[in-house]
């Protein structure tokens, strides 16, 4: 332990603690715009400069380690004046469009200016006009990610998370120096022409609105307001937990009922559960795995429900495409069933003869799901995809008191029932654990095997494995970088029969569309909540879902039947 003084307070911290963290332990707040837990400190925003007795110049608190005996000041007049000038310099080159900015209310630059009531230094833009810098720097070519470099404050977090620190994609990097320093793509081409996999991790760490999810919520709200179409919404497993954070509820609070009530208040006619389709996915994908095992071909089977991973394979390793499961993701399956199944036909004659179809929206913790909804082979199943953050904006914009809503909301039937196996899809390892539970049933060995597979769980581990008697060894790659590492040698071909890959660390609960959080334990808290829903579920194996059984009996026949293939499977582009 070392002892130092910050603003006159004695503080004991572990050796190796930064001044920023040391101050935090004593409840002393030092502003910063470029710090993000878990990523290396770059000290580029200069907001966290502090004075250390005996040191000539102020030092960045994020990158300076506390030393025994340090005497530190965080709030001198000189520091305050510097921070104000720093903010004004940032504002001088920042567009004056906070009122319509997607991250209005969640932007850290805005918060800092607001908190300190620093003077506005924006160039005055006439209403409706587009500044030259906006015109040059907006990139809306990706179906998932929008960039507006005129808002960039050069914190470097996007390049860090997209690069070696987390995702290992290196789509974004820094170019130029000084005033022209900018995060650019290779050769500065639009994002749609890069190897971006749409994971959205860059939008999660961006402290301003320079990188955001391609927004769909304005159009969804317009469609709901007009109320011309029958509207259907489906909700992903991870969203019902993380959305609580947007409204001040404790992290890890399960808000399924509140969320259903909020969606009804927004005007959706039917509120369904993506988890229903997750159970259906297991029936299809589990059967696909057993068929491949019998035939001894295209093994190991890779899961295909993560669109970031599917994008990565198509862009980087098309030779692996035959290994991807052809089963559609739960999002797309749910859309296909809602639009073209018995439910749609029950809505009236126009729906029955195909002249009309319901308007289908999904709420996902993922930005790549926007991209997925437009893929050849599934496009049309889902009309718009909202991230968890976008839904929170909609709820706020309509003044719905989310935290005060009752937890009694219930999904509509018949596309709303689900099992605990579907709920764990939202955590890394969950799809594989769910598949193991049902594959064990198909093989007639479920009663000899445990229901819970701890070896496949965990939100920080890289590659997790378990050996399932009667099936083989399965693996889980937690994050795209761990999959890339696994693929570096060829042993995976022999070692495993099935491999789950989720592009984001933690799985969907760490998705690029989730609420922004500075809590280093946030993934663990969300995962704990997900597994608690499973533990309390009355049915915990996908094949036990009564609505899924009824769907097979009435419409699909058996898993992997020709009708099931037509509605529930897809193909990939080499």
Least separation, in Å, of the C-beta of 431 and ligand HC0? 6
Does position 238 bind ligand HC0 by CB under 6 A?
Answer: yes
- Max CA separation in the chain (angstroms): 82
* Alpha carbon distance 341, 352 (integer Å): 9
| Closest distance to ligand SF4 from the beta carbon of 2 (Å) | 36
Comparing CB distances to ligand SF4, the nearer of 17 and 198 is 198
Q: Per-residue contact track with ligand HC0, 511 to 550, x per CB under 6 A?
A: x---------------------------------------
Cis peptide bond prior to 566, omega within 30° of 0: no
Stretch of residues binding ligand HC0 (CB under 6 A), selected from 164-172, 233-241, 336-344, 536-544: 233-241
Q: Within 317-428, where are the H helices?
A: 330-340, 342-345, 349-352, 368-372, 388-397, 420-423
The number of residues that bind ligand HC0 (CB under 6 A) is: 21
Strands (E), 237-394: 270-273, 301-302, 359-364, 384-387
Q: Per-residue string for binding with ligand HC0, 329-348, x by CB under 6 A?
A: xxx-----------------
Distance separating alpha carbons of residues 526 and 185, to the nearest angstrom: 32
- Cβ–Cβ < 8 Å for 175, 181: yes
Q: Could you give the angle at which helices 388-397 and 239-246 cross, rounded to 10 degrees?
A: 50
Distance, CA of 200 to CA of 216 (rounded, Å)? 15
User: Taking CB within 5 to 8 Å according to partner kind, which of ligand SF4, ligand HC0, none is near residue 58?
Assistant: none
- Of 55, 51, 3, 48, whose CA–CA distance to 26 is shortest? 3
The interface region with ligand SF4, picked from 121-129, 162-170, 263-271, 429-437 by CB under 6 A, is 162-170
Out of 110, 167, 274, 438, name the contact with ligand SF4 by CB under 6 A.
167
425 forms part of the interface with ligand HC0 (CB under 6 A): yes
Binding part of the chain for ligand HC0, among 67-75, 93-101, 325-333, 563-571 by CB under 6 A, reads 325-333
CB of 199 to ligand SF4, least distance (A): 4
Which range in 130-138, 248-256, 440-448, 504-512 contacts ligand HC0 by CB under 6 A? 504-512
User: Closest CB to ligand HC0 belongs to which residue?
Assistant: 508
306 binds, among ligand HC0, ligand SF4, none (CB under 5 to 8 A by kind): ligand HC0
Q: Which two tokens stand for residue 183?
A: 């995060």
By CB under 6 A, residue 458 contacts ligand HC0: no
- Note whether 201 binds ligand SF4 by CB under 6 A: yes
What's the burial of 138, exposed, middle or buried (CB within 10 Å: 0-12/13-18/19+)?
Answer: middle
Which of 296, 285, 175, 273 is closest to 533 using CA atoms? 273
Q: What CA–CA distance (Å, rounded) separates 186 from 173?
A: 7
Torsion angle of the four alpha carbons 30, 36, 41, 43, in this order, in degrees rounded to the nearest 10: -50
CB 463 within 8 A of CB 513: no
- Please give the DSSP secondary-structure letter assigned to residue 141: -
369 binds, among ligand SF4, ligand HC0, none (CB under 5 to 8 A by kind): ligand HC0
Nearer to ligand HC0, 231 or 331 (CB): 331
- Residue number with CB closer to ligand SF4 (162 or 456): 162
Give the shortest CB-198-to-ligand SF4 separation in angstroms. 5
Residues near ligand HC0, by CB under 6 A: 236-238, 274, 278, 281, 305-306, 329-331, 364-366, 369, 425-426, 431, 507-508, 511
Chain residues binding ligand SF4 by CB under 6 A are 145, 161-162, 167, 169, 171-172, 196-202
């Amino acid at each position: 332990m070392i002892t130092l003084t910050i603003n006159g307070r004695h503080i004991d911290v572990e050796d190796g603690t930064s001044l920023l963290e040391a101050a935090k332990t004593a409840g002393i707040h030092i502003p910063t715009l470029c710090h993000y837990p878990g990523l290396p400190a770059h000290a580029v925003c200069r907001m966290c400069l502090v004075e250390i007795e005996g040191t000539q110049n102020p030092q960045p608190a994020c990158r300076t380690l506390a030393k025994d005996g340090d005497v530190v000041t965080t709030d001198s007049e000189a520091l305050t004046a510097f921070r104000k000038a720093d903010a004004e310099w940032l504002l001088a080159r920042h567009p004056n469009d906070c009122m319509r900015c997607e991250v209005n209310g969640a932007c850290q630059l805005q918060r800092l200016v607001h908190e300190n009531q620093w003077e506005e230094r924006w160039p005055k833009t006439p209403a409706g006009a587009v500044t030259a810098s906006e015109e040059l720097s907006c990139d809306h070519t990706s179906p998932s990610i929008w960039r507006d470099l005129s808002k960039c404050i050069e914190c470097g977090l996007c390049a860090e998370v997209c690069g070696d620190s987390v995702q290992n994609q290196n789509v974004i990097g820094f170019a130029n120096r000084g005033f022209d320093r900018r995060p650019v793509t290779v050769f500065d081409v639009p994002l749609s022409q890069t190897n971006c996999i749409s994971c959205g991790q860059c939008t999660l760490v961006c402290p301003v609105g320079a990188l955001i999810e391609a927004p769909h919520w304005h159009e969804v709200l317009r469609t709901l307001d007009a109320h011309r179409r029958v509207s259907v919404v489906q909700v992903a497993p991870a969203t019902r937990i993380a959305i609580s954070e947007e409204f001040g509820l404790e992290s890890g609070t399960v808000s399924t009922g509140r969320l259903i009530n909020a969606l009804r208040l927004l005007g959706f006619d039917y509120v369904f559960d993506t988890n229903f389709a997750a159970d259906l996915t297991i029936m299809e994908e589990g059967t696909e795995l057993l068929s491949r095992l019998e035939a001894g071909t295209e093994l190991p089977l890779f899961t295909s429900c993560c669109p970031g991973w599917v994008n990565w394979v198509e862009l980087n390793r098309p030779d692996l495409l035959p290994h991807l499961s052809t089963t559609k993701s739960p999002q797309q399956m749910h859309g296909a069933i809602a639009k073209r199944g018995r439910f749609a036909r029950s809505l009236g004659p126009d729906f029955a003869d195909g002249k009309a179809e319901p308007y289908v929206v999904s709420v996902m913790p993922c930005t790549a799901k926007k991209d997925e909804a437009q893929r050849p082979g599934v496009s049309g199943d889902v009309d718009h995809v909202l991230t968890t953050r976008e839904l929170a904006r909609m709820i706020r914009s309509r003044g719905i008191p989310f935290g005060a809503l009752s937890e009694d909301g219930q999904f509509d039937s018949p596309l709303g029932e689900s099992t605990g196996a579907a709920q764990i899809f939202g955590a890394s390892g969950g799809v594989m654990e769910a598949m193991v539970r049902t594959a064990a049933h198909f093989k007639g060995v479920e009663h000899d095997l445990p229901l819970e597979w701890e070896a496949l769980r965990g939100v920080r581990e890289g590659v997790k494995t378990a050996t399932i008697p009667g099936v083989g060894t399965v693996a889980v790659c937690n994050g795209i970088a761990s999959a890339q590492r696994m693929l570096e040698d060829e042993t995976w071909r022999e070692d495993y029969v099935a491999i789950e890959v989720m592009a984001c660390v933690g799985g969907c609960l760490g998705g690029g569309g989730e609420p922004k959080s500075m809590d280093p334990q946030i993934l663990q808290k969300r995962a704990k909540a997900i597994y608690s829903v499973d533990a309390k579920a009355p049915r915990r194996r996908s094949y036990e879902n009564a609505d899924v059984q009824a769907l097979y009996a009435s419409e699909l026949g058996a898993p992997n039947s020709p009708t099931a293939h037509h509605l529930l499977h897809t193909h990939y582009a080499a």
